[in-house]
Amino acid sequence: MDYKAIVKVLSSILIALALFFASEIVVGAFYHEKIFKLTIFISIFFTLSAFFWILTKDYRVNLHIKEGILVVNLIWILIGIAGAFPLFLYTKVTFISAFFEAISGFTTTGATVYSDIESLPHFILFHRSLMHWLGGLGVIVLGVGILSIINPSGSLTLFKAESTGIRLEKLSPKIKDTAISLWLIYFALTVADTIFLKLFGMNWFDAINHAFSTISTGGFSTKNASLGEFNNSAIFWITTFFMIISGINFLAHLKFLYGDSSGYKSEEVKSYLTIFFILSILVTLTHDFVDGDSLFHSATHSFFTIASVMTTTGFATTDYGLWSHSAIALIFIAMLIGGNAGSTAGGVKVIRYIVIFKTLFGELKKILHPRATISVYIDKVKLKGDIISAVLGFFFLFIFTNVAISLYLYARGFDALTSVSGALAIVGNIGPGFGLVGPANNFAIFSDLDKILLSIGMIIGRLECYTVYLLFSSYFWKKF
């Protein structure tokens, strides 16, 4: 085990995180809030991170698979602890609750333990949104840029361990350039969303915070009623658009930046948009015919809700838990789907469903034609058997994790709807579920032990199962 390499990478990322946290001091000072404890914490956090980096600054990093996976797991624990301290110091929650909130922030889950969000200081509200924004594209992608400067050969290992998707598409000659380009696109979308939200009625503070949460598909809001507080159709449609854009593979956006629009014509993107429009239209019709709402009102809230749930953002314009059973069933389907691989969205991802269904149809054909050789193609590219196995393995682990957490919550005495939807909302990084964890409620009802388990569930979902479950394999430790 190359411990020095691990320490150097972790300390580099934590230094960057401390510098980002320093912006919260500026926010607190601007609103004349008490920031002494925050300043002390960030100073200590930066000093400790810098100390460990100085100890290893001359060490040449060369991460192998084992070290890369350990770094990815450890960094999510460490940033969760770091993100918890401001919440613990300034709000009336236990450290475990603060850790849960921080993990929810960085994993872009958006599940909260706060019932009165509007009573929180401005710099704490900004802290929550900033954790979303940093976690959205991946703290590790930011780390790739840092690590590439330290040692270009080790960065690809780290990026593979964090990347969300079936395969890593290297669009630039250097992985560092790819990471920087992705962050530039991410930043540009955030700025654009902020400007539109400001133009249509939000103040600058709310616009920045909600843009952070939207582009990261996180869901933390500055209002108790989420975006429903603004009661503004223009804001709802703007946010719907940017949630859908953020749920598309960012490599497609990157290709477009290089003048190639083929990324938007992929099977995954076309299927993703088709599913979104079908589910949104069906929920709209449900409201229009069953509930008697006007068509525009129905469409506004239906398209927003499906976009929010499908991209695992978790914003709400209304308490959709009170909608008709047919509408809830359609929303539950959206919860099961997720966004694109390589996007900031969580969930199973559309591309995996495409692979799974094509594989199943292929197996059915083999029953009718035993001698036939049937392959699975995605965008006219034949998939290798190990990729198909990895997709099926992930789906099993995803279901297994959801079932395990659901059974645990049910055994703790929670009703079935709360247990099942709560587990899916946590592992799928969605945020709100139904029942006691619906959009009008929060996760404060759970004990500290529950929150530790749910925090682990969020990390498992964010790292897409394999990266975490590998740590429990004796073969993994023996192999390397």
Q: Would you state the pLDDT for residue 456?
A: 97
pLDDT at 146: 60
Asked whether 147 and 9 are in contact (CB, 8 A), the reply is: yes
Q: Which helix (H) or strand (E) holds 421?
A: helix 416-427
Q: Which of 339, 384, 335 is nearest to 359 (CA)?
A: 384
- Write down the pLDDT at residue 166: 46
Give the number of other Cβ atoms within 10 Å of residue 51's Cβ. 10
Cα separation of 434 and 419, whole Å? Answer: 9
SS3 (DSSP) at 140? helix
pLDDT for position 132: 96
Q: What type of residue sits at position 195?
A: I
Residue 274, Cβ density class (10 Å: 0-12 exposed, 13-18 middle, ≥19 buried): exposed
Determine the pLDDT at residue 159. Answer: 61
pLDDT along the chain (480 residues), means of 10: 86 94 97 96 97 88 80 92 97 96 96 95 97 85 63 61 54 68 92 97 96 95 94 96 94 86 90 97 85 83 96 92 90 93 90 92 87 84 86 93 97 96 95 91 94 96 88 76
Residue type (1 letter), 78: L
Which amino acid, one-letter code, is at 465? C
Q: Whole-prediction pTM value?
A: 0.93
Distance from the Cα of residue 373 to its chain's centroid: 38
**CA 323 – CA 384 distance, rounded (Å):** 43
Other Cβ atoms less than 10 A from the Cβ of 362: the count is 15
Give the model's pLDDT for residue 428: 94
How many CB atoms lie under 10 A from the CB of residue 275?
17
**DSSP characters over 85-114:** HHHHHHSSS-HHHHHHHHHHHHTT----S-
Contacts of residues 397-404 at CB distance under 8 Å and 24 or more positions apart, as own/partner, are 397/465, 397/466, 397/469, 398/348, 398/427, 398/461, 398/465, 401/427, 401/457, 401/460, 401/461, 401/465, 402/427
Q: Model confidence over 395-448: pLDDT tens digits?
A: 999 999 999 999 999 999 999 999 999 999 999 999 999 999 999 899 999 999
pLDDT, one tens digit per residue, over 425-436 is 999 999 999 999
